[in-house]
């Protein structure tokens, strides 16, 4: 077997199952999972009908490049959402089966593992804590993951000014996540432009994971995106920049497995070849549905309203007992715990049947031995309003004991 497989960490949910082993919650309490990242709101009503109408697609092999109707819808959405002048649907957009597989496969296509220097393997930079796929993708691409701590002091996003030139010089790929998972923090336009300048200077690729970009609080202030920063700099070729977007969180369709990668055609062309061999074309009927979903914003606004209500209600219940900070965007509370995060999650689950994710499982210790996820838990407000409120009340009673 590939020896690099042994470098992969157990996934956070495996660690959570091990933490809970032998600790049963009270039998009468219904479990409430705030640990998962899976949206539980209803999908748009038109999806089932569109999917059924296009079931004939089951009898054809889909093309990896995707249908023009979908690529056109995606390009138009990008232009509307981020104020872009032009996105070429033929060369600057690729549909993917959810961004998870795309983040992984893009890394395999980008990293040049032959470029090992006296300083070591190529680096893939990523925030810490982080979406776990970045690390696994880097390891299996033959690169070394390099973690950029996201702490309260650095505004819950990496402090890019603290990265030394010799690290940038070894960097082939930089992952950014805005809004961040788990912190919900955004990268502002100035930072995005600074990263583009660094990419010009050192030649690395920027992969911006923006899959939470449509879940935000102020309708007048949607989060900025990397392609938007490129456009403001007059770079319509989006050189060395790609973004990842998904229908999973935006439209409550995690089971559709539908997202896209967009940006620099010089990167997407070889990536398309990689995907052709990898065998990851999106089923035709999913493409047809996705084209329609990207064209509809009404359900996305309703979705945001529901998250807004839940954040308000849960904040009011928990703020007196926990140091809560509403995120900039996304659907997670990233909460400092009284005491170790894993013990907090274990005891909370045992006493209240509410599950939260210990922050240490989402992060790695740096050279200083500090794990920036420690002392925090991630609470996802993905369940319905009444379930989230019930969970908050149980957490409050737990803390009062
Ligand atoms: C930060 C981040 N990126 C990407 C994904 C992958 O989402 P999907 O594959 O459903 O598009 C997730 C899923 O939870 C995530 O949290």
Q: Mean of the pLDDT values across residues 280-297?
A: 97
Can you tell me the mean pLDDT for 20-30?
A: 92
Residue 140 pLDDT greater than 90, yes or no = yes
SS3 assignment, position 188: coil
Indicate if the pLDDT at residue 390 is higher than 90: yes
Last-in-domain residue among 264, 296, 328:
296
- Residues 246 and 242: their CA atoms lie apart, in Å, by 14
Nearest to 7 by CA among 133, 132, 102, 140: 140
Do 286 and 150 lie in one domain? The reply is yes
**210 pocket-lining for ligand 1 (C-beta < 6 Å):** no
Tell me the mean pLDDT in the region 268-288.
Answer: 97
Place of tokens 């805005």: 178
37 CA → ligand 1 middle, Å = 8
Alpha helices in 121-251 (DSSP H): 133-140, 165-170, 189-202, 226-232, 247-250
pLDDT tens-digit series, residues 213-235: 999 999 999 999 999 999 999 99
Candidates 159, 239, 165, 251; CA nearest to 206 is: 239
Q: Quick check: is 54 in a domain?
A: no
pLDDT score recorded for residue 218 = 97
Question: In the Cβ-directed half-sphere of 393, how many Cα atoms lie within 13 Å?
Answer: 6
Distance 93 CA to ligand 1 centre (A): 18
Instruction: Say whether both 247 and 339 belong to one domain.
Output: no
Residue 147: band (very low, low, confident or very high) from pLDDT cuts 50, 70, 90:
very high
37 lines ligand 1 (CB under 6 A): yes
Q: What is the mean pLDDT of residues 61-81?
A: 97
Exposure b/e, 262-298, CB count within 10 A at least 16 = b: bbbbebbeebbeebeeeebbbbbbbbbbbbbbbeeee
Ligand 1 center–CA 307 separation, angstroms: 18
Q: Is the CB of 245 under 6 A from ligand 1?
A: no
**How confident is the prediction for the chain on average, in pLDDT?**
96
Find out whether the beta carbon of 328 lies less than 6 Å from any atom of ligand 1: no
- End position of a domain, from candidates 255, 278, 296: 296
User: Is the pLDDT reported for residue 366 higher than 90?
Assistant: no
pLDDT tens-digit map of 149-206: 999 999 999 999 999 999 999 999 999 999 999 999 999 999 999 999 999 999 999 9
Say yes or no: CB of residue 213 within 6 Å of ligand 1: no
Helix axes 341-352, 12-20, angle to 10 degrees: 60
Mean per-residue pLDDT, 373-382: 97
pLDDT score recorded for residue 281: 96
Domain that holds residue 94: 59-296
- Same domain? 379 vs 235: no
Q: Are 196 and 235 in contact (CB under 8 A)?
A: yes
Could you say which of 296, 328, 359 is where a domain stops?
A: 296
- The whole-model pTM stands at 0.97
Residues 237 and 249 in one domain: yes
């Amino acid at each position: 077997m590939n020896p690099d497989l042994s470098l992969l960490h157990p996934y956070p949910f495996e660690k959570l199952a091990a933490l809970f082993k032998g600790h049963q919650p009270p039998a009468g309490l219904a479990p409430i999972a705030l640990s998962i990242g899976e949206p539980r709101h209803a999908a748009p009503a038109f999806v089932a009908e569109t999917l059924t109408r296009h079931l004939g697609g089951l009898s054809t092999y889909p093309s990896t490049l995707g249908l023009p109707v979908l690529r056109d819808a995606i390009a138009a959405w990008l232009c509307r959402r981020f104020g872009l002048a032009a996105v070429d649907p033929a060369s600057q957009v690729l549909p993917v089966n959810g961004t998870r597989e795309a983040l992984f496969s893009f890394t395999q296509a980008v990293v040049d593992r032959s470029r090992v220097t006296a300083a070591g393997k190529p680096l893939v930079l990523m925030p810490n804590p982080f979406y776990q796929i970045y690390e696994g993708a880097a390891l299996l691409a033959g690169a070394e993951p390099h973690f950029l701590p996201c702490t309260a002091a650095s505004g819950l996003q990496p402090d890019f000014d603290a990265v030394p030139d010799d690290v940038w010089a070894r960097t082939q790929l930089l992952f950014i996540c805005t809004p961040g998972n788990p912190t919900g923090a955004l990268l502002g336009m100035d930072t995005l432009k600074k990263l583009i300048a660094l990419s010009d200077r050192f030649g690395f690729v920027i992969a911006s994971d923006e899959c939470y970009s449509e879940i935000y609080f102020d309708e007048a202030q949607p989060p900025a995106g990397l392609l938007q920063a490129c456009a403001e700099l007059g770079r319509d070729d989006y050189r060395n920049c790609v973004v990842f977007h998904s229908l999973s969180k935006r439209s409550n369709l995690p089971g559709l497995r539908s997202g896209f990668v967009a940006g620099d055609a010089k990167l997407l062309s070889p990536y398309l070849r990689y995907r052709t061999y990898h065998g990851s074309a999106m089923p035709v009927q999913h493409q047809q549905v996705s084209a329609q979903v990207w064209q509809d914003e009404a359900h996305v606004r309703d979705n945001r309203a529901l998250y807004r209500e839940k954040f308000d209600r849960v904040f009011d219940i928990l703020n007196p007992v926990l140091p809560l900070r509403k995120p900039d965007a996304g659907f997670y509370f990233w909460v400092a715990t009284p005491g170790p995060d894993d013990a907090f999650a274990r005891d909370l689950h045992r006493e209240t049947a509410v599950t939260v994710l210990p922050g240490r499982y989402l992060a790695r210790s740096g050279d200083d031995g500090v794990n920036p996820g420690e002392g925090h838990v991630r609470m996802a407000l993905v369940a319905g309003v009444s379930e989230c409120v019930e969970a908050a009340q149980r957490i409050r009673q737990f803390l009062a004991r």
